[in-house]
Amino acid sequence: MKKIDTDITKATTLEGDFYALESSFKDTLENVFAKNWQLIADDSKLKENRNALPFQFLADLLPEPLVLINNEGVINCYSNVCTHRGNVLIDEPCTIKKDITCGYHGRQFDSCGKFKFMPKTEGMQNFPSAQDDLPVVPVEKWKQFIFASLVPNFEFSELIKDVEQRVGWMPIEDFVYRDDLSKEYHVKANWALYCDNYLEGFHIPFIHADLNAVLDFNSYDVETFKYANLQIGIATDNDICFDLPKESKDYGKKIAAYYFWLFPNLMLNFYPWGLSINIITPISTSETKVLFKSYVWDESKLDKGAGANLDKVELEDERVVRQVQKGVASRFYKHGRFSPTMEKGVHHFHTLISDCISK
């Protein structure tokens, strides 16, 4: 893959092949997803001591069996594979009563992943050793949200610090998950095309008439950080906005929404009513799962302003990215150019992608 020029006035976008070729897709799984942080869950199923939550790292594409365990209030992550013969240890959420016991040959581990016992080991030399313990996997918690990475390229604090500094004044840890307001979509487009679309407001007047009516398009801007960026939605004169505290950097502004993107595939959309999380999970080269998870802060502000009609906005976005997926596979399309004023977020994303894959 070519390196993306860091000068947006000179740079060209990712080439069409990145979105269309299976080889590029496989490179992305190993070099982007395996080496960066993923939002796994909130802590709702891990409130009590010794609660365990098994999961696969990236669904069926990077199906690494892992398990989160609450050890006296600290969430840890371990390989969920027995170090004897590879059996998966924990199949479903549970509370570990005494030990983790493998259902294949009875090998036992404590809740911290340390080997304790296995039958019929008489005569084994150099046993047990550290290799008999469950491998520890990097995990971090921010507010109620739990993140993990297989082999992270950078510290989690580098990913989240700019979100915390900007909107940490909100009582995010008290936001309540609402299943009735959450939804899953399947989009027939590459996961990165979906992110490209999210990362610019250039298309809003052309695609989202209702959203355009409540945002001041002329005030659009993007702030880029090391591994994240922020689009701020400025409300029109009469529309709903945040009641910002005086200590906020944005105090005095009519902010309708904070749209944070965290590399590579997470969107944290803060509205006066609460938080909409978008998790973008690749399925194949040209298919993506988009999970919307809603956490409500102030129910009286639902269905108002920029945070209203999220389903309508999503369907409008899906229509255009499906068309773009067809276009980038064209033999006549190579790459495009970035608008220096409107596509700083897309340029930032593309530079991070090329840095990961070009190493």
pLDDT, tens digit, 9 for 90 and up, residues 186-235:
999 999 999 998 998 655 664 756 655 655 556 667 899 999 999 998 88
Query: How far from 148 is each of 34, 46, 55, CA to CA, in Å?
Result: 10, 15, 11
Considering only CA atoms, which of 240, 219, 248 is closest in space to residue 231?
219
Q: Give residue 53's Cα distance to chain centre.
A: 18
- Is residue 24 very low, low, confident or very high in pLDDT (cuts 50, 70, 90)? very high
pLDDT score recorded for residue 117: 97
Residue found by looking up tokens 């006066």 in the block = 272
At residue 320's C-alpha, the angle toward residues 314 and 324, to 5°, is 135
Mean pLDDT of 120-130: 96
- In this model, does residue 109 exceed pLDDT 60? yes
- In this model, does residue 315 exceed pLDDT 90? no
pLDDT score recorded for residue 203: 58
Establish whether domains 38-142 and 157-357 are of one fold: no
Share of the chain above pLDDT 70, in %: 93
Q: Answer left, alpha or beta for residue 194, where phi above 0 means left and psi between -120 and 50 means alpha.
A: alpha
List, edge to edge, every strand of the sheet that includes 287-296: 176-187, 287-296, 274-284, 266-271, 255-262, 228-234, 222-224
Q: Residue type at 173?
A: E
- In this model, does residue 128 exceed pLDDT 80? yes
- Rounded to whole angstroms, the Cα distance separating 173 from 164 reads 12
Contacting residues for 254 by C-beta, under 8 A, at least 6 apart: 234, 235, 237, 239, 241
- Rounded to whole angstroms, the Cα distance separating 82 from 34 reads 21
Fold entry, domain 157-357? Naphthalene 1,2-dioxygenase Alpha Subunit; Chain A, domain 1 (3.90.380)
- Is residue 21 very low, low, confident or very high in pLDDT (cuts 50, 70, 90)? very high
Residue-level length of the chain: 359
pLDDT score recorded for residue 202: 59
Fold entry, domain 38-142? Rieske Iron-sulfur Protein (2.102.10)
- Is residue 44 very low, low, confident or very high in pLDDT (cuts 50, 70, 90)? very high
pLDDT in tens, 226-274: 999 999 988 877 788 999 999 999 999 999 999 999 999 999 999 999 9
User: What are the structural domain ranges in the chain?
Assistant: 38-142, 157-357
Residue found by looking up tokens 């959420």 in the block = 93
Mean residue pLDDT of the chain comes to: 92
- Rounded to whole angstroms, the Cα distance separating 263 from 257 reads 19
What spatial distance separates the first Cα and last Cα of the chain, rounded to whole Å? 10
| Burial class for 151, CB neighbours closer than 10 Å (0-12, 13-18, 19+) | exposed
Mean pLDDT of 281-286: 96
